[in-house]
Copies of this chain bind each other. A is one copy, B any other.
Amino acid sequence: MKIDPDQKADLSAQIAKAIRDAIIEGRMIVDERLPSEAELAEQFEVSRSTVREALKRLAAQSLIRTQRGAFGGAFVNRLSFEEAYGQQITTATLLLSMNAVSFDVACEARYALERACAPLSSERRTPDQLATMRAEIHRQSQPGLTDESFCASDVTFHRALVDGAGNPVLSFQLAGAVEAMQPLMNMITFTARSREAIVALHTRIADALEAQDAKAADTALLELERYTLELGRGVMKARKSAS
């Protein structure tokens, strides 16, 4: 494991890259212990602080974890689906908030992906996941709910739909798409009437999944997309004319 001395990048970035590559290429396996900071410093011929900065970079990407104490040190971390979800959501949220992505584009992406899950989900959804959907539909019907709670419940509902596909890779990919939409959705004020319409569509989706009717689920999702888009456009237009 070597670093290029005539690179212009920071030493800590180069060292992080060298170790990261070793992990990605499988030269270091999960739970393997890295050399101690002092040993790494000697190997790379830099100070301990520089090594530490490199290790913090890797820790930020969940590539390693550290333990203090004797026989502690830095270990190659098994990236769990949980951690991957989290990173995915953070990245997607920031991407959307920082790049002026329009409601239309985000909405289209989200529903295109969700509809990809629908056939699998209608085949494999567990009773548990159906129960979650029903529970969230019930929560969404409560009159006193704030818009934020309504949106949070919406996210839970849709994640149950996605998880219903029984494919963890798919769930991972979609976690970002669904959750990253929440800040955009939170900007919408849901009137009693629009909530009613959404709950009705959610019910149709849940019914379709329960009946394992992929086509009906797809149709209902398509209508939900259309309706969400309409609501979003209404809000954007109102905001524009107000300013």
Contact = CB atoms under 8 A, between A and B. Distances in A.
A36 interface: no
B79 A98 contact: yes
A242 interface: no
Interface in A78-106: 78-81, 84, 87-88, 90-99, 101, 105-106
A56 interface: yes
Interface stretch (A38-46, A168-176, A192-200, A205-213): A168-176
Interface residues of A, number: 56
A167 B109 contact: yes
A237 to B, nearest CB: 22
Interface stretch (A115-123, A140-148, A150-158, A223-231): A115-123
A120 B116 CA distance: 13
A37 interface: no
List 10 tightest A-B contacts by C-beta distance, closest first.
Answer: A116-B116, A109-B169, A57-B60, A60-B60, A109-B170, A112-B116, A53-B56, A84-B95, A79-B94, A56-B56
Interface of A: 12-13, 16, 23-24, 26, 30, 49, 52-54, 56-61, 63, 78-81, 84, 87-88, 90-99, 101, 105-106, 108-109, 112-113, 115-117, 120, 165, 167-170, 172-174, 176-177
Given A12-B56, A78-B99, 17 more contacts: A23-B94, A24-B90, A52-B53, A56-B57, A57-B57, A57-B59, A61-B90, A78-B98, A79-B91, A80-B99, A84-B94, A84-B95, A88-B88, A112-B170, A113-B113, A113-B170, A173-B176
